[in-house]
Structure 1
Amino acid sequence: MIAAVERRFRTLKVPHRLEWLSHNGTAYIARQTAQVAAALGIDLLFTPVRSPQSNSMSEAFVKTLKRDYASTVILPDAETILTLLPEWIDGYCEVDPHSGLKFRSPREFLRLSA
């Protein structure tokens, strides 16, 4: 967690609210982990206990980003990935149709459901 914050923000404190989502493994729920997260300015969030659906959704999201976005460009370093990631996530949420949402993007589905 410390290394990720240092690499991303070049400091030991996040500049804005940041959430770290993980499962309920021993290392993630340990008091020391919570203390480090608090010192870094990170809010810890956990998937529901005994909820494989939560893990499946996050793994599917990562798999889709790798397959549909990361595999289509040359990625020489982490900086390039971090630069492209917001555009990929926006495309995933705003443009790409999802079969589970009647072939609408997530944002389109939410707008039509409201």
Structure 2
Amino acid sequence: MNHSADVPTVSVDDLPSGEEYVLLDVREQDEWAAGHAPSAVHIPLGDLPSRAAELTELADDRPVYVVCRTGGRSARATAWLNAAGVVDAVNVAGGMKSWVTSGRPLVGENDGVAAEVL
């Protein structure tokens, strides 16, 4: 069954400006370390069910925008978060690839290596 039509989605360009939203990165640790949005929160997709409570506290009634590399995993995470009633989640179309294309900042955890989206 394809529920993608039910998943609220925004483009990177339509993200709110400023810090009044939570950006959740559901990629794996190696992807996160290579490059991520400076303000993002990292919870890999597989850890989401066990760490959902953290997200509820972080969100504080604000929407949570979910991002992965290109939008597939984040769509699944968004659907799950909304269905489970954890937070109001919105999928970021195009993921971190679109984030970089839009000229948004990227930071990495690997010393001496330029940040990149794996």
**TM-score above 0.5, yes or no:** no
Q: Which has the higher contact order (CA 8 A, sep 6+)?
A: 2
Which is strand-richer, 1 or 2?
2
TM-score calculated relative to the size of structure 2: 0.31
TM-score calculated relative to the size of structure 1: 0.32
